[in-house]
Structure 1
């Protein structure tokens, strides 16, 4: 009779979940025993970095990824990074070790008491099988739940289950397939087409799902066909539209009142692949201008249900975009040239202005570079200088949780070895995921890390002004030298002091990871 472990390994192999990100403990070792030759275990030195690496890998590859966590302690360490994966709708399968079954009730050391409850409400599904015989089926459900919901799923398995023998029914999971289709029916499609056709001045709001689902180029065609301006949804984690396209208006303000102001003069707001809306700053007001209607199209039923305004259609955005492209007449006016990039601002004091850094990235790195960004205080400078015209060019921590940037970039680079990848991180955020440098070094990941050092939590300083708290303590972090930290983890690093030196360093060829530290002036997100 086969063991639970053998059936589980075979199922994961058939599902393509052969790259495992993890930081194992004793409870996890029985699952890891005898991994088939085609599996790859990617070790991270902290569970936050592990989940962020897996998040980046899954987003860049478009496939579910297995994450191996240690009981309650490892699962707890992963929670902060998990918030970003949830907001990005990343299909992670979190597999955690549990004490042997007889030890769970007495709460022996390393027993996770009520393990599924620990991860709720973040994950879309969480369970611990009632018996060893149910482990293969439950593992299959975790994979399918993650894929169907596009949200992390969590399974806790007592470690004595892996060696248990199972009957012939357990192998039935090997041939399972679960798929989802979301095409609007005829009446729904007709109503939507009539709404869009009747609009005199429609505006599109595109979310990160557009890029995640491979609809970047289709969104460009739709905007040009409708002759509609385009906003990216607030709290942007993936870029769904070329940011210098003549119809692009930028990232929608993350406050109710300014977002409403952005819709003035438009009779229809068509939201594709985004919640309505992930506001941040509390700036109350009307949701929409008088006379403006909003229609949301999303495959995320929860996002549709919780929206505070507008109509919603839970459907595959790809099917809806295809429908609108078929029904809308060809535009008589060309889109026009892409907007030019302005000259970068320069700093008055010591250090480079972040715009000078981003201009150097734009000019020196290949046009198809994928950027993983976690430097929130330089947000305005970033969008002023970058010219991103390709799908999969931009990744950002979806829930705003620091610690995604460095490990997320490692995951993206591992998933897309065919594409240059650069991490752009601030000195404040770098500390949250710094251990990912060790993984990058061990796997010779071709990654450029550009670390902007300004010695403070710049975004918090800006928020202090918004909230009327100018004197909050704990906002400065002087004395950090990331070149020495990086070298300790095995990553070559150097400190560059001017724009010319930065451009020259970026132009150098490298076949592994590298870190460039740049001192920058303090700027604000907007």
Structure 2
């Protein structure tokens, strides 16, 4: 008869979860000691980086990822990164070791007191099984909950003496279980929505990360073409759900009430798909909708649907809805939109590299199918002005705005995408939160290219100080950091550049190396 550890590994294998991201402590050793040869363990040097690597891996892979943390301390270290996973709907199965079951109440060293409450309210579901025999079933439940709409992270705490206990015979049934959602628009709902779109004089689409996550970008294009409608990306996008050079593309909506309303003036029907309505950031109050506009929301997340302050919501499969709408609306009712204007000439700098110039150079030098993981928040406007993204799964950004996602997530995304080049575009302030992931890239020979935009300050914070009128405050500058020396210490080749020509040479060298690389670029300070 299999023990709990063997039964759990069989369960993970059945779900394709044979990569484990972790940083082990004593509570985790009994589980890891039984790891089968067909599993691989990806070690990170800090749990925040571990969770962000797993998040990038899951998003780029289009599936779940398995994480093993150390008790309460390791879980706490990962909580900041966990906020991004929640809002990117990343299906992470997070486990943490617990002390011997009979000693937890004594609060012995490394006991995770009230373990299931620790990651709440961030995770979808959290538990500590009531007995060792329920561990495999609990992990099975976690896997299914994480992957059912709306997807998201889950958490299971396991006392380390449970792993050696005998698993119940009925555990075998867990290996063949499947749970799928049947949620889609009914015929009546589809007909009502098609009628609304056909009747609209000037409809507009607002697309969010779920479109890209569900591989529905092509369906969004078909719907935009059939409607002759412009397309915006919802505010603060964590993914790119629409080709940026398509004639319908209008850019990214600002993350403020009045800014969105101003951008959507003149539209009588706003169809939001795969995004919250809306994730505002800077507080610029105003009317939620332009005069005469109706909003309809398509999402798989009941929470997003329920908390929206306006509009009508339909909860179901976003890809299914967009595909059926594209097939059903009446095409040709509106004039064809004119082609997009050429990408504007990038601004340059005499002393450093302007971010627009950097992104322009990347557009001309990087492979067409490159994947960008971005965490340089003060350069978002520069990025979207220069980028040309046309393929699914080509852009990832911290979904909650918490720093520390970008660099480790780029490593995880490259691990999941061995046939595409992943480029991390990381601010010098952001880089320090997940810098230990460079060690993982070096040790596992993961050929990610990390471009660090070095302006010596928290650029987005400086811009926000002007929005809030707070003036000069302490703690906004981060001077004197040598990322080339740090990278070398972790075993990664690194180069520092100050001109566009030097950047192109360094980037081409990194592309041809097949090894992880860091390029530190002195950049001008810009606003988001």
- TM superposition score category, shorter chain reference: over 0.9
Q: Work out the CA distance in 1 between the residues paired with 2:51 and 2:343.
A: 35
Deviations 1:404-462 (A, max 9, x none): 11100001000010111100011000000000000000111111111111111111000
Question: Where do 1:402-413 residues align within 5 Å?
Answer: 402-413=403-414
Aligned residues: 524
> Residue 257 of structure 2 aligns with which residue?
256
> Residue 52 of structure 2 aligns with which residue?
52
Deviations 1:158-193 (A, max 9, x none): 011000012211222112111112221122112111
Question: Where do 1:161-176 residues align within 5 Å?
Answer: 161-176=162-177
Question: Where do 1:5-404 residues align within 5 Å?
Answer: 5-148=5-148, 149-331=150-332, 336-347=338-349, 350-404=351-405
Q: Work out the CA distance in 1 between the residues paired with 2:87 and 2:524.
A: 31
Q: Secondary structure at the match of 1:412?
A: helix
CA RMSD across the alignment: 1.1
Tell me if structure 1 keeps the 8 A contact 2:498–2:523. no
Q: Work out the CA distance in 2 between the residues paired with 1:175 and 1:236.
A: 36
Q: Structure 2 stretches of 5 or more lacking a match?
A: none
> Residue 524 of structure 2 aligns with which residue?
521
CA deviation after TM superposition for structure 1 residue 330, in Å: 3.1
Runs of 4+ in 1 over 2 A off after TM superposition: 329-339
Question: Could you tell which deviates more after superposition, 214-223 or 322-331?
Answer: 322-331
CA deviation after TM superposition for structure 1 residue 346, in Å: 1.4
Tell me if structure 1 keeps the 8 A contact 2:487–2:494. yes
Q: Secondary structure at the match of 1:434?
A: coil
Q: Work out the CA distance in 1 between the residues paired with 2:102 and 2:36.
A: 29
Q: Work out the CA distance in 2 between the residues paired with 1:322 and 1:353.
A: 40
TM-score, length of structure 2 as denominator length: 0.98
CA deviation after TM superposition for structure 1 residue 501, in Å: 1.2
Deviations 1:109-156 (A, max 9, x none): 100111111100000000000001111110000000100131100000
Q: Work out the CA distance in 2 between the residues paired with 1:335 and 1:441.
A: 48
Q: Work out the CA distance in 2 between the residues paired with 1:89 and 1:310.
A: 22
Q: Secondary structure at the match of 1:77?
A: helix
Q: Work out the CA distance in 2 between the residues paired with 1:456 and 1:480.
A: 11
Q: Work out the CA distance in 2 between the residues paired with 1:499 and 1:266.
A: 41
Tell me if structure 1 keeps the 8 A contact 2:495–2:506. no
* CA pair 393-335 structure 1, distance change in 2 beyond 3 A: farther
Q: Work out the CA distance in 1 between the residues paired with 2:109 and 2:523.
A: 47
Tell me if structure 2 keeps the 8 A contact 1:245–1:339. no
